[in-house]
Amino acid sequence: MSQTKDILKNNLWDNNPILIQILGICSTLAVTNLLSNTLIMTLGVSFVTALSSLTLSAIKKLIPRKVRMIVQTLVIAFYVIIVDILLKAYSPEISKNLGPYVGLIITNCIIMGRAEAFAQSNPPGLSFWDGLTSGLGYMSVLMLIAFVRELLGFGTLFGYRVMPMAFTSGGYNWTIMVMAPSAFFLVGILLWISKSIMLKNETGGKK
Amino acid sequence: MNKNGLTYTILFSFVITFIFVFLLALANVSTLGIVEENAQVNEYRAILSAFGIEYNPLDNQDIIAKYGQIQKRESPEGPYYEATIDGETAYALPSTGSGLWGTIEVVMGVSGDLTRFTGLTVITHNETPGLGGRITESWFTDQYVGQRIPENGQLGMTSGDGAGDPNKDDDSIDAITGATRTSDSMKAIVASALARMKTIVGGNT
């Protein structure tokens, strides 16, 4: 039981895919200006990471070493296309908003990273959990960034207006929050904060 | 069989690819109907909005039923739509033009005598999210509903407070602050669509 807890803590904090491993940065910049899009996108990534880790771990004994990476890509692409088909059929509005980014989940390094680093050498159940929690670690950081960007850029949260209209209708003041560069700044600030907290914990508060 | 041998590797790659692609094909075929209906309804929705016809956006059947009153017509200027709303004829014309970053595709609705807009829907665009991208927001598109069409066919854009221009009898609507180029594009697209609409209606009477 402690192993599952360790994995959870590892993927959410100690070895967070974005803050520590710096993986999946493209999507962090691209899909974090609206909370609802970010939520669907990160749910998709968690789903794909969990199930591809599970599948790859289950068939790992059958895969010849030479074609290992090709099979990983095949399985990941399979789940991503399933997500794409489901969104197109049951949630066309979100599918339209996300556009090509759903297909680009395939190139998210986190998924292949987990398949290669964890699912290769662990049982299916544990691999599923590892994939899922990696997705959650990714989701938590992206949602935090999307929260700040949507609030300051559009003055809304999940589409509901929380800031007065005058806050955003000026158009000029917070435009950068809507554009990709703001995600660069926010990721940088988050890295800084989380690194300082980690350093503090390691050194026991001493510099 | 040797797991790392050539025969096994080829056989394994073939079988595993076949299985996954087969499953995908199944998933694709089983959702094909819904996906096509969604695309169709999306188009109907844009045309209904351009005519100013109200519908339940979540009810596909409602949209399909209301679309029944609209007729698609062909003309040398391209296809357009005709509907009779409360005894009055109205037209809708799909139109495209270039925006700041890419093509903007709209459907413009006008009354039969070409004196008022009935609505305007933006179907696709690539404008900056939060700036030019606001052309899809209702405060902007609602400005066209019932707006008088100026004599010269040039609907102006003036800077406003971001809430929309409530005056339907003047010759202008509010532009989007911070998105002057996109607003200018919309002005040009609407003007050229109006000119085409005049030719179409003129040719009919």
Please give the pLDDT value at position A205. 58
How many domains does one find in chain B?
A: 1
User: What domain range includes position A100?
Assistant: 2-203
Please give the pLDDT value at position B26. 94
Q: Is the pLDDT of residue B160 over 80?
A: no
Q: Give the closest residue to A17 by CA, choosing from A121, A135, A98.
A: A135
Q: What is the average pLDDT value for chain B, to the nearest integer?
A: 86
Dump the DSSP string for chain A: -HHHHHHHHIIIIIT-TTTTT---HHHHHHS-SSHHHHHHHHHHHHHHHHHHHHHHHHTTTTS-GGGHHHHHHHHHHHHHHHHHHHHHHH-HHHHHHHGGGTGGGGG-HHHHHHHHHTGGGS-HHHHHHHHHHHHHHHHHHHHHHHHHHHHHHTSEETTEE-S-HHHHHT-STTHHHHSHHHHHHHHHHHHHHHHHHHHHHHHTT--
Please give the pLDDT value at position B190. 92
How many domains does one find in chain A?
A: 1
Residues of B in contact with A66 (CB under 8 A): 4, 9
Contact of B128 with chain A, judged by CB distance below 8 Å, is answered with yes
Q: What is the pLDDT of residues A181-191, one digit of tens each?
A: 888 899 999 99
Please give the pLDDT value at position A207. 52
A-B Cβ pairs (cutoff 8 Å, strict)? 76
Q: What is the average pLDDT value for chain A, to the nearest integer?
A: 85
CA B72-B109-B33 angle, to 5 degrees, is 50
Q: Give the closest residue to B173 by CA, choosing from B141, B126, B128.
A: B141
Kindly state the tokens that stand for A59: 């068939």
Q: Is residue B151 part of a domain?
A: yes
Q: Is the pLDDT of residue A98 over 80?
A: no
Distance (Å) of CA B92 to CA B78, B137, B197 = 12, 20, 9
Interchain CB distance below 8 Å, B3 and A66: no
The residue-averaged pLDDT of B133-144 equals: 86
ipTM over 0.95: no
Please give the pLDDT value at position A19. 83
pLDDT band at A167 (very low <50, low <70, confident <90, very high): low
Q: What pTM was computed for the model?
A: 0.77
Across the interface, which of B16, B35, B176 has its CB nearest the CB of A89? B35
The residue-averaged pLDDT of B85-96 equals: 87
Q: What is the pLDDT of residues A39-68, one digit of tens each?
A: 988 999 999 999 999 999 999 889 998 888
Please give the pLDDT value at position A169. 58
The rounded percent of chain A whose pLDDT value lies above 90 is 29
Q: Is residue B42 part of a domain?
A: no
Give chain A's length: 207
Across the interface, which of A64, A74, A175 has its CB nearest the CB of B9? A64
State the Cα–Cα distance between residues B96 and A200, nearest whole angstrom.
58
Residues of A in contact with B46 (CB under 8 A): none
Q: Is residue B11 part of a domain?
A: no
Q: Is the pLDDT of residue A14 over 80?
A: yes
Per DSSP, the three-state class of B70 is strand
Q: Is residue B57 part of a domain?
A: no
Residues of B in contact with A75 (CB under 8 A): 20
Interchain CB distance below 8 Å, A92 and B179: no
User: What domain range includes position B78?
Assistant: 72-204
Helix (H) or strand (E) holding B124, with range, is strand B117-124
Kindly state the tokens that stand for A67: 């074609």
Look at phi and psi of residue A154 and say left if phi exceeds 0, alpha if psi is from -120 to 50, else beta: alpha
Q: Is residue B8 part of a domain?
A: no
Q: Is the pLDDT of residue B169 over 60?
A: yes
Q: Is residue B16 part of a domain?
A: no
